[in-house]
Structure 1
Amino acid sequence: MRRYKIVIAFLLVNTGMTSCRKYVEDVPVQGQRVLVYTEDYRALMNASGDRQEVAFGLAPLMSSDDVDLSAAEIQNNFKTNNIQTAIYTWRKPFYTDLGQDNDWNAMYAAMYTYNVVIDGVMDSKGGDQLLKQTILSEALMHRAFTYFSLVNLYGKQYDAATAETDLGVPLMLKAALFVNLKRASVKQVYEQVMKDIRAAIPILPVKQDINFRPNKPSAYALLSKVYLNMRDFPNAAAFADSTLALSNTLYNYNIAFNGGNFIFPSQFEDKQILLRKVPRVTFSAPQLSQAILDLLGTKDLRYQLFVKQGGSFYPAFTGQGFWSREKYSGPPDKPAVGLSVNETWLIKAECLARAGKKDEAVDMLNTLRKLRFLPADYTDLSAATAADALQLVVNERRREFFGSGLRWFDQRRLNKDAQFAKTVTRVFDGNTYTLAPNSNNYVFPLANILIAQNPEIEQNP
């Protein structure tokens, strides 16, 4: 099989600066060539690192109430990093002067690649129509996932009453040099996400040979997640059902525990993973909050697998920290932040609880939880009311995804529920910082350099 190195050079509009405006240079270098054949687009979409790691980085985890970086060793280390300090204390701006937001840059660079594929693959040479359509549908799904991530980092939480006017992110839907970078509304971004997913679904296969390629279950899972964030719980439940009808395998942590030998599978072998996405970077010493430690308890296999004493980390610290699955299966396996059966399972359980079907919701929780405890340590949950069942689901989501950064997105959306809205407080370097429900600090600021380069992009409040 012939292999080609694909030429996609992202050049900067402003010399030495990184911005949204990037384009493809179609000048081949000896030994290289531009995108011409369908197999070129297949190779581009097979660039696994780019497709899998272009997700958010440290900020959601460091901002969330999963972590409490109170250890003196960590705080002393943090004092030399103004960006991490600002993120941890919810102070704006995160990035001053020429500081770059590498999460934003990476996601928009990936967006350009998806647009190149979407614009060109159907006119490529040599491939059959189904292959071209499949590659197109994969690019649409990756673009949808990336825009959903962007709008939930840099835009306000979706609220039907204000989404039409709340600032979202720039919608770049063509591989073009000069585009309008004015921020679309939150509603417009959500509509584009759903449009891309729905366009992809008819062509996506039910199964792919590797889980960084989107398939039908992952598309339904993303729709379910989008509707959950819109508080359209009937549709979230319906698309969760569509996902689980095609893929419903939950991983049994008893296998990973292996009598205390801790053998955890690669995400490529984990049947829970519907679409593999991992953070761009991870934090070396993620000290866990007492709240999540209390919620886990010591018998939960997620505690035994993913919590270690601070002396196991660098820098070492007093307390306990999140021990990522990559410690078991290798560096590629950073926390799973893509689409999964277990998250879709819990979305369905949440929708059942919100619909007043408390017993069905708790039954789903117990099915999952039996796979998270040794049989001798497991006790079924029960709920007296639908509100109790909903609390149990929210607690389980926190246990299932702690250390990944996904908790931050739950904090944002659950602020819309009086039952869950709360003020978060933390102390850094002797100063106390608070994060109130629905605060503007739940919306990450744009890098100042981005605004300076592209003045039509409005800064967050």
Structure 2
Amino acid sequence: MRKITAFIAIAAISFISVGCDRFLDIQPEGKIIPTTAEDYRKVLTSAYSKYPVHKSLTALRTDEVSIDENGMDFISYREIAMWKDSNNDPASTEFPWVSFYSVNFYLNQIINEGSKTMQDSPEMRQILAEAYALRAYLYFDMANLYGKPYNSATASTDRGVPINLEIDLEKVLKPSSVQEVYNQVHADIKKAEELMVEEKQPAGINYRFSKTALRAFQARTALYEGDWNQALYYAEQVLAVKGDLSNLNTVNTPPNHYASPESIMALDNTWDNSIKNLSFASPELISAYNATDKRFGIYFEKNGNKYKVIKGGSSDFRVSFRTAELYFIKSEALLKLNKLNEAKETLLKVLKNRYTPDGYTSVQNAVSPMDASAFMTFILDERYREFALEGQRWSDLRRANQKKITHTINGKEYILQQNDVRYTIEYPMSAKKNNPNL
């Protein structure tokens, strides 16, 4: 255990590279312990900047992309596309583990020590609120990588991930249940809610949590838990203060751009440039759009007989929450609460901004006779189109139908069967090797 905690300590210390390299949890010669709000803001900025880039890795496991076998980084990523999580080639990239706990280390420092040393002020409360919110977000992401999809009947026995709320790097980490992880997520969200000062964050620093971003996070959490009343409540809370949609009939900027009128929080790099260069949009994804869908030309670009994804790959396209998602959550929650007509009206507000006028009329006509089952399928199909390569597809597949997916790599077919156990990603080999409790 000392081996992995030492590794975490080294990795965490290496994070201090964004204007706060003098700050450590221990005070060695020539270093200082952060004490002021300004100090802790720098530590928090470092935590934000090093938040793991993992959502583009999940795209390789979905039906969104085809991997380019001639790509420079093919060897690094091919086994992810094969759903091979054990006995990996040493050259294979692993899903993040140490980097999550390294960020967690600094959040614990802010929460446990910053609360004692910072003078009470709106800035101090905002910093603590963001630290709690980001820690909740971190454990939510980890639970949805390494834990089974939330199921209230089994969550208390389903294995989640270890929870560490202390600064002690020698603490032995043991897995908590999915329910325990979600309980911690809710506890941290509650603390963040009590302390949060900023209603919104301006473009440029909207990688930070705000009240609006926190409510969007609460809506997504409730969606994943199947708590439809809470999902509806928080979605409506967000849309009451930020309901803007980008009309793709009049603008050519992808709605996931950080400066889009839809942007609520722009932290996650959901389409890493190295994976963007390695991948093409899958034929299945391309065929999901029709000629009247304005998203197609903004999301994809023809490259020979294939299509490259152009909606991401730079810091301008970082996205964690945007308003369209809240309309989708509201629509799904209304549907589950047996309010089919309201659910349809809610989703159509988004689609009016995504299809040409003629295309929208066709969509309206198609949606009108749908029963609840057909409309649920339609919601998931539209989520596939709307949030392509934004890191949402893997979770949607996990919580919905866990469909069969086939990837062809080097002329060989690899199959993820329906309800395959590999819909839950194994702990990384390096983590298991260094900690026998995992």
**Residues 117-136 of structure 1 correspond to what in structure 2 (within 5 A)?**
117-125=110-118, 127-136=119-128
Conserved? CA contact 1:55–1:146, under 8 Å: no
Give the 3-state SS of the residue equivalent to 2:280 in structure 1: coil
The 1:175–1:439 alpha-carbon spacing in structure 2 relative to 1, beyond 3 Å, is same
The aligned counterpart of 1:234 is 229
How far is 1:99 from its partner? 6.7
Conserved? CA contact 1:20–1:105, under 8 Å: no
CA distance in 2, matches of 1:88, 1:277: 25
How far is 1:275 from its partner? 2.0
The 1:424–1:193 alpha-carbon spacing in structure 2 relative to 1, beyond 3 Å, is same
Runs of 4+ residues deviating >4 angstroms: 19-25, 94-100, 263-266
How far is 1:185 from its partner? 0.6
Conserved? CA contact 1:94–1:447, under 8 Å: no
The 1:102–1:411 alpha-carbon spacing in structure 2 relative to 1, beyond 3 Å, is closer
> Is 1:14 the counterpart of 2:3 in the alignment?
yes
What are the Cα deviations for residues 222-273 of structure 1, in whole angstroms up to 9, with x where unaligned? Answer: 111112111222221122122222322222223432xxxxx55884422322
> Is 1:68 the counterpart of 2:66 in the alignment?
yes
The aligned counterpart of 1:38 is 37
Q: State how many pairs are aligned.
A: 417
The 1:85–1:99 alpha-carbon spacing in structure 2 relative to 1, beyond 3 Å, is closer
Give the 3-state SS of the residue equivalent to 1:86 in structure 2: helix
The aligned counterpart of 1:366 is 348
Q: Which amino acid aligns with 2:251?
A: A
CA distance in 1, matches of 2:47, 2:74: 33
What is the root-mean-square deviation of aligned Cα atoms in Å?
2.7
CA distance in 1, matches of 2:244, 2:7: 42
Conserved? CA contact 2:331–2:344, under 8 Å: yes
Q: Which residue of 338, 345, 353 corresponds with 2:335? A: 353
**Residues 409-448 of structure 1 correspond to what in structure 2 (within 5 A)?**
409-415=395-401, 421-448=402-429
Aligned identity (percent) is 26
Unaligned runs of 5+ in 2: 14-23
> Is 1:103 the counterpart of 2:103 in the alignment?
no
The aligned counterpart of 2:156 is 164
**Residues 271-290 of structure 1 correspond to what in structure 2 (within 5 A)?**
271-279=261-269, 281-282=272-273, 283=275, 284-290=277-283
What are the Cα deviations for residues 137-177 of structure 1, in whole angstroms up to 9, with x where unaligned? Answer: 10011111111111101111111221111111110111211
Q: Which residue of 285, 290, 299 corresponds with 1:297? A: 290
How far is 1:285 from its partner? 3.3
How far is 1:391 from its partner? 1.8
**Residues 175-194 of structure 1 correspond to what in structure 2 (within 5 A)?**
175-194=167-186
CA distance in 2, matches of 1:322, 1:168: 33
CA distance in 1, matches of 2:151, 2:63: 22
> Is 1:26 the counterpart of 2:20 in the alignment?
no
The aligned counterpart of 1:396 is 382
How far is 1:94 from its partner? 6.9
What are the Cα deviations for residues 19-69 of structure 1, in whole angstroms up to 9, with x where unaligned? Answer: 489674523565x63212121012222348616x43424321000111233
CA distance in 2, matches of 1:57, 1:434: 21
Conserved? CA contact 1:243–1:344, under 8 Å: yes
Give the 3-state SS of the residue equivalent to 2:160 in structure 1: coil
Q: Which residue of 290, 294, 308 corresponds with 1:321? A: 308
CA distance in 1, matches of 2:81, 2:192: 37
The 1:437–1:15 alpha-carbon spacing in structure 2 relative to 1, beyond 3 Å, is closer
The aligned counterpart of 2:16 is none
- What is the TM-score when the length of structure 2 is the normalising length? 0.87
CA distance in 2, matches of 1:62, 1:376: 34
Give the 3-state SS of the residue equivalent to 1:92 in structure 2: coil
The aligned counterpart of 1:378 is 360
Farther off after superposition, 165-174 or 432-441: 432-441
